[in-house]
């Protein structure tokens, strides 16, 4: 379990939440849903950097932390009133308070690397053909677009993918001069339509489906092929650290880093001579290098998945996203939403899990956190004994409408 506490950041006056494998935040516009998601995303990234490099100074000052939030997540003016952030997991503790910033690595042995995918509400920007050459700066939209460009490459004309039960398939045609993202209707009404000419709902949901398919599947199968120079350089640094601390220091009590080349040669000679102790240490080094450099799950943070979608489609989308996350790797999902349909579908997913429905996707109630945000504070919407998201909260908008409706009959 992860705990996140926030005070005086943007619209959030005070919020304390337990982050689970699946997290949902609902509330009015500008209530602070995305603020919590963005802080969680940033703290998760810092956790990954620190836990995989053993460098507690990966982000070293309050100014650097705030700058990271402001630049990447466009949170200008959010940190002007004595902000306070506390984030703790089994691996790390992060504290921003009273102008100080501290990071403490709690457990350096059990963290498993993850791919963090932030999918912003502006995801339909992928329909603009000029994006690939446009410079966005170090923002979450830029990061999402890089992830998108990697994901869509595998969905060529020979590998089209269906989109929910909407009767369309998406594919990427690299040979097109301008509009490379295409859809076709399976009933034959349209073929080779540019994604940018499709409905706003398709422009919103197709990037979601493509991203989830790729980053819960083939991404892990082809990860080594996608290594960037930056990632490769980071891997070399991690490898050097592990060789020094696992192999050389344990094998040679007189190890001197200034004479590293000679000790490496000695270690290689012992490996060639099948020294049992060195072979065990080298195997441990290989296991640790894989743990720290190869992602094992994806953690998705999604803004407003319901965007421009009919209620039935929103509910089907939730089933689909959970089906992707519930595979062998146990991926993570955090969602900000305005839609009660999304949370009502959660209740159905809980029920399916509880009754052991093998035909439809379900989700364990205990793996989900659900919070409402209003006036800068959060409230827990889970009813523990009933295994439900609070139905009174979900029905409140309709109740309000019908109460107003009935009031007219009383006049």
pLDDT digits (tens, 9 = 90+) for 87-130: 999 999 999 999 999 999 999 888 999 999 999 999 998 887 65
Q: Is the pLDDT of residue 133 over 70?
A: no
Q: Is the pLDDT of residue 79 over 70?
A: yes
Q: How far is CA 355 from the centre of its chain?
A: 29
Report d(CA 235, CA 229) in Å as an integer: 10
| Overall size of the chain counted in residues | 411
pLDDT tens figures, 2-14: 999 999 999 999 9
Rounded alpha-carbon distances, angstroms, from residue 362 to 64, 171, 322, 323, 368: 41, 29, 8, 8, 12
What does the pLDDT read at residue 127? 85
What does the pLDDT read at residue 224? 59
376 or 135, higher pLDDT: 376
Q: Is the pLDDT of residue 134 over 60?
A: no
Report d(CA 145, CA 125) in Å as an integer: 9
Report d(CA 120, CA 212) in Å as an integer: 14
Residue 336 pairs in a beta bridge with 25, 303
Report d(CA 164, CA 314) in Å as an integer: 10
Given pLDDT bands bounded at 50, 70 and 90, which one contains residue 273?
Answer: confident
Q: Which of 10-19, 72-81, 286-295 has the highest mean pLDDT?
A: 10-19
Report d(CA 42, CA 326) in Å as an integer: 24
Instruction: For the chain, list the domains and their CATH numbers.
Output: 2-112+296-407 (3.40.50), 118-221 (no CATH), 227-293 (no CATH)
Report d(CA 211, CA 219) in Å as an integer: 10
Q: How far is CA 402 from the centre of its chain?
A: 38
What does the pLDDT read at residue 319? 97
Coil/strand/helix, residue 115 = strand
pLDDT tens figures, 178-221: 899 999 999 888 888 999 999 999 999 999 999 999 999 999 98
Q: Is the pLDDT of residue 384 over 60?
A: yes
The residue-averaged pLDDT of 370-382 equals: 96
Residue 116 pairs in a beta bridge with 299
Contact in structure between 267 and 274 (CB atoms under 8 Å): no
End-to-end CA separation in angstroms for the chain: 53
Given pLDDT bands bounded at 50, 70 and 90, which one contains residue 231?
Answer: low
The residue-averaged pLDDT of 323-343 equals: 95
Name the nearest CA neighbour of 31 among 5, 7, 13: 13
Both tokens of residue 410? Answer: 């009383």
Residue position matching structure tokens 């102790």:
277
Of 16-25, 173-182, 338-347, minimum mean pLDDT range: 173-182
Q: What percent of the chain has pLDDT over 90?
A: 76
Contact in structure between 136 and 72 (CB atoms under 8 Å): no
1 or 263, higher pLDDT: 263
What does the pLDDT read at residue 148? 94
The residue-averaged pLDDT of 129-158 equals: 81
Q: Give all strands of the β-sheet with 22-26 in edge-to-edge order.
A: 100-105, 92-97, 84-88, 2-9, 12-19, 377-380, 368-374, 22-26, 332-337, 297-303, 114-119
Average pLDDT of the chain, as a whole number: 92
Q: Is the pLDDT of residue 132 over 70?
A: no
Report d(CA 314, CA 307) in Å as an integer: 9
Q: Is the pLDDT of residue 323 over 50?
A: yes
Side-chain half-sphere exposure of 201, counting CA atoms within 13 A: 13
Q: Please give the model's pTM, rounded to 2 decimal places.
A: 0.91
What does the pLDDT read at residue 229? 44
Report d(CA 170, CA 204) in Å as an integer: 13
Report d(CA 377, CA 400) in Å as an integer: 22
Report d(CA 294, CA 64) in Å as an integer: 27
Helix (H) or strand (E) holding 333: strand 332-337
Given pLDDT bands bounded at 50, 70 and 90, which one contains residue 396?
Answer: confident
| 30 CB burial (10 A radius; 0-12, 13-18, 19+) | exposed
């Amino acid at each position: 379990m992860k705990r996140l506490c926030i005070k005086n950041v943007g619209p959030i006056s005070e919020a304390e939440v337990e982050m689970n494998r699946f997290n949902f935040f609902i509330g009015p516009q500008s209530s602070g849903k995305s603020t919590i998601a963005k802080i969680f995303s940033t703290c998760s990234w810092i956790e990954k950097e620190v836990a995989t490099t053993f460098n507690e100074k990966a982000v070293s000052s309050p100014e650097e932390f705030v700058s990271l939030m402001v630049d990447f997540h466009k949170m200008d003016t959010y940190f002007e009133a004595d902000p306070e952030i506390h984030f703790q997991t089994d691996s790390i503790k992060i504290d921003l308070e009273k102008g100080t910033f501290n990071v403490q690595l709690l457990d350096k042995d059990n963290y498993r690397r993850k791919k963090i995918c932030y999918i912003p509400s502006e995801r339909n920007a992928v329909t603009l053909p000029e994006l690939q050459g446009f410079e966005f700066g170090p923002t979450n939209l830029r990061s999402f677009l890089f992830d998108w460009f990697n994901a869509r490459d595998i969905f060529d004309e020979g590998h089209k993918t269906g989109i929910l039960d909407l009767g369309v398939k998406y594919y990427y045609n690299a040979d097109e001069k301008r509009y490379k993202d295409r859809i076709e209707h399976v009933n034959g009404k349209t073929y080779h339509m540019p994604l940018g000419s499709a409905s706003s709902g398709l422009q919103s949901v197709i990037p979601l489906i493509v991203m989830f398919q790729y980053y819960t599947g083939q991404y892990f199968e082809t990860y080594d092929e996608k290594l960037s120079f930056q990632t490769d350089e980071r891997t070399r640094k991690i490898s050097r650290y592990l060789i020094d601390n696992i192999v050389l220091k344990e094998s040679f009590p007189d190890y001197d880093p200034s004479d590293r080349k000679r000790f490496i040669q000695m270690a290689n000679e012992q490996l060639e001579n099948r020294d049992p102790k060195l072979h065990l240490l080298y195997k441990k080094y290989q296991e640790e290098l894989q743990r720290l450099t190869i992602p094992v799950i994806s953690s998705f943070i999604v803004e407003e998945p319901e965007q421009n979608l009919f209620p039935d489609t929103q509910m089907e989308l939730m089933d689909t996203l959970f089906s992707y996350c519930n595979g062998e790797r146990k991926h993570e999902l955090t969602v900000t939403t305005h839609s009660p349909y999304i949370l009502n579908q959660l209740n159905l997913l809980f029920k399916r899990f509880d009754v052991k429905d093998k035909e439809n996707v379900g989700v364990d109630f205990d793996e989900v956190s659900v919070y409402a945000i209003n006036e800068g504070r959060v409230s827990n919407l889970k009813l523990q004994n009933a295994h439900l998201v609070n139905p009174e909260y979900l029905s409140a908008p309709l109740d309000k409408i019908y109460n107003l409706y009935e009031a007219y009959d009383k006049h």
